[in-house]
Amino acid sequence: MLETGLAETAFWPYALMIVGALVTYFWRALGVALSGRIDAGSPLFEWVACVAYALLAGLIARMIVLPNGPLAETASADRIAAAVIALAIFFLARRNVGLGVAAGAGALVLMTLGRSWFF
């Protein structure tokens, strides 16, 4: 009993990752299968594209405003300020994505460090 328990522990993360990979690929494969029935110029296709863009914007906004993982330890005000800084630098630097991203992530790091020093 103890041995099978240990074996299970060693394999456990892989088992979870295989399950994760299967459910992830499932969506992609289903998408390929369903798309064969939709004409590129049809309104249904444009609706699906709108749903995809809305989902992605929702996910990104959630990752900034209500993140899970290590970001949850940072202050919401800092993350939102950093996102605004990223947008500002992006437009000021003539729509340079690289500079905007670097500025946003750098700003969050500095603000988080600042809080740990001063508070």
Partner 1 sequence: MPNSDITGGTLGSGYASPRHAALKGLQHALGVPALVLGASYLGFGSLIHGAGLDVWHGLFSTFTGWALPGQIILVELYSLGASVLIVAAAVAMTNARLLPMTVALMPYLRAPGTPRWRYYLFAHYIAVTGWAAAMRHCPDLPEPQRLPYFAGFAVTLWSMTLVTTAVGFYLADLLPGYITLGLVFLNPIYFMLVFVADARHRARILALAFGAVCGPLLHLVSPDWGLPLTGLLAGSLAFFGDRLWSQRNA
Per CB under 8 A, which of residues 26..45 are in contact with partner 1? 26-32, 34-36, 38-40, 43, 45
> 44: closest CA among 54, 34, 30?
34
- Name which of residues 54 to 83 contact partner 1 (CB under 8 A): 54-71, 73-74, 79, 82-83
Report, in Å, the least distance between residue 16 CB and partner 1: 5
**Residue with the two structure tokens 């500079």:** 99
Query: Whole-angstrom Cα distance, residue 79 to residue 82?
Result: 5
Report, in Å, the least distance between residue 15 CB and partner 1: 7
* Binding residues for partner 1, total number by CB under 8 A: 75
Query: Whole-angstrom Cα distance, residue 32 to residue 38?
Result: 10
Report, in Å, the least distance between residue 3 CB and partner 1: 21
CA 39 to chain centre: 29
